[in-house]
A and B are shown apart, each in its own frame.
Chain A
Amino acid sequence: MVARRILEGLNFAVDEAADGQQALDRCLEQMPDAVLLDWNMPVMSGIEFLRELRGLADAQQPVVVFCTTENDLSHIQEAMSAGANEYIMKPFDSEILESKFQQTGVL
């Protein structure tokens, strides 16, 4: 996966989840510093995952950066009001990913 390679190049330890539910389970086990989140996933979509995540009480909330082919303004607005920190529209490159992580203070 392209994103994984870029993130590892930025010295992140990367864990992957196949869908929103799996991602939520992983977060409950060990909260990451940042989540790079797709919109369209089976079982639980990215936006559903984000709402669940932000609803967790007493959790150390991670930075969430959406990374998706959903490139219209209404999706961006929905993601931001659900608590996303940044939004990457696919296709993207390493420079964009890096700058988004810098802007959110993870890097």
Chain B
Amino acid sequence: MNKSDFDFLSSLLRDRSGLVLGEDKAYLLESRLGPVARKHGLTTVDDVAAQLRARRGAPLELDVVEAMTTNESFFFRDTRPFDQFKDIVLPQLLEARRATKSLRIWSAACSSGQEPYTLAMILKEEAAKLAGWRVEIVATDLSTAILDKAKEGLYSQFEVQRGLPITLLMKYFTQAGDRWQISQELRGMVSYRMFNLLESPTALGRFDIVFLRNVLIYFDQATKTQVLERVAKQMPSDGYLYLGGAETVLGITDRFQVLPGQRGLYGVVDPGQKVAAAG
């Protein structure tokens, strides 16, 4: 691929999804866009670039964005966030919301559904504490193709073995040939919506808990700030935000603060608090 095609495609991806693609990632364009090219009757990634230059906004553009922003995901990805969810976040919010008995959780950039279904499994395992509660899991992703896969809840043998204890596989999945499908009940606990993190999340409503793990790494600094500040506006002051273990808010926003000793788990900082502290 020549430099001008690389620059064109990386700029298109940045505009459409916020994905920042370094020049060392040219191989990723080649490997992921090859199948997209063939699907559209083209031969090379250069042909894809040429076609997109001629006609922006075509279905080809959507396929290119989807192919480049789809990431590997697995059940109970890193066990720590889910231990924190069960042991810290859930008990705290069950106490704080005991009057309304209502919780809303957002799994942002949910990919093929492993994260929201992991949360659904934990909620099922904790069902005794949640009797009479209304808990909503909203899962969003930029890619409609990946959302279709998530809704279907059908996973390969490799996917169900990454992080998922066998007892939970036996309990919540049925075997469908050489694949495994998550139960209808768990699928019914998650509502999927297409959403681009570069847009305002106001229409999604307010969330007590937001999982935004391993997404910000693809954005530049200004976009990270914008995304986090918009997310903060959708959260109450006792809400919880999850970021990936390697991510940080330092130098990006002061609307979130890591919980002492709990890497990856953040509390909301009320803007009023900041003013008071500054005064």
Contact yes or no, A96 B161, CB < 8 A: yes
Chain B residues, CB < 8 A from A88: 161
Contact among A73, A89, A92, A96 for B170, CB-based, below 8 A: A73
Chain A residues, CB < 8 A from B174: 73
A93 to B163, CA, bound (A): 12
Contact with A along B126-164 (1 / 0, CB 8 A): 000000000000000000000000000000011001110
Chain B residues, CB < 8 A from A72: 175
Contact yes or no, B167 A89, CB < 8 A: no
Chain A residues, CB < 8 A from B175: 72-73
Q: A102 to nearest B CB, angstroms? A: 8
A106 to B245, CA, bound (A): 23
A99 to B164, CA, bound (A): 9
Chain B residues, CB < 8 A from A89: 157, 161
A99 to B178, CA, bound (A): 21
Contact among A71, A80, A95, A103 for B157, CB-based, below 8 A: A71
Q: From A85, which residue of chain B is reached at the shortest CB distance?
A: B166
Q: A35 to nearest B CB, angstroms? A: 15
Q: B114 to nearest A CB, angstroms? A: 13
| Residues of A in contact, count (CB < 8 Å) | 19
- Check: B91 CB closer than 8 A to any chain A CB: no
- Check: A86 CB closer than 8 A to any chain B CB: yes
Contact among A77, A87, A99 for B163, CB-based, below 8 A: A99
8 A Cβ contacts from A16-36 to B: none
Chain B residues, CB < 8 A from A91: 157-158
- Check: B271 CB closer than 8 A to any chain A CB: no
A88 to B169, CA, bound (A): 12
Q: From A92, which residue of chain B is reached at the shortest CB distance?
A: B161
- Check: A76 CB closer than 8 A to any chain B CB: yes
Contact with B along A56-96 (1 / 0, CB 8 A): 00000000000000011100110010000011110111011
Contact yes or no, B170 A76, CB < 8 A: yes
Chain B residues, CB < 8 A from A92: 158, 161
Q: B125 to nearest A CB, angstroms? A: 15
Contact yes or no, A96 B158, CB < 8 A: yes
Q: B74 to nearest A CB, angstroms? A: 9
Contact yes or no, A80 B170, CB < 8 A: yes
Interface centre among B161, B169, B175, by most A CB within 10 Å? B161
Chain A residues, CB < 8 A from B178: 71
Q: From A93, which residue of chain B is reached at the shortest CB distance?
A: B158
- A contacts, CB < 8 Å to B: 71-73, 76-77, 80, 86-89, 91-93, 95-96, 99-100, 102-103
- Known: A80-B167, A103-B165; 10 extra A-B contacts, CB below 8 A, are A76-B169, A76-B170, A86-B166, A89-B157, A91-B158, A92-B158, A99-B161, A99-B162, A99-B163, A100-B161
User: What are 6 A-B contacts defined by CB distance under 8 Å?
Assistant: A72-B175, A73-B175, A76-B169, A80-B166, A80-B167, A86-B166
Give 10 nearest A-B pairs by CB, closest first. Answer: A87-B166, A96-B161, A73-B175, A89-B157, A103-B165, A86-B166, A99-B163, A76-B170, A96-B162, A89-B161
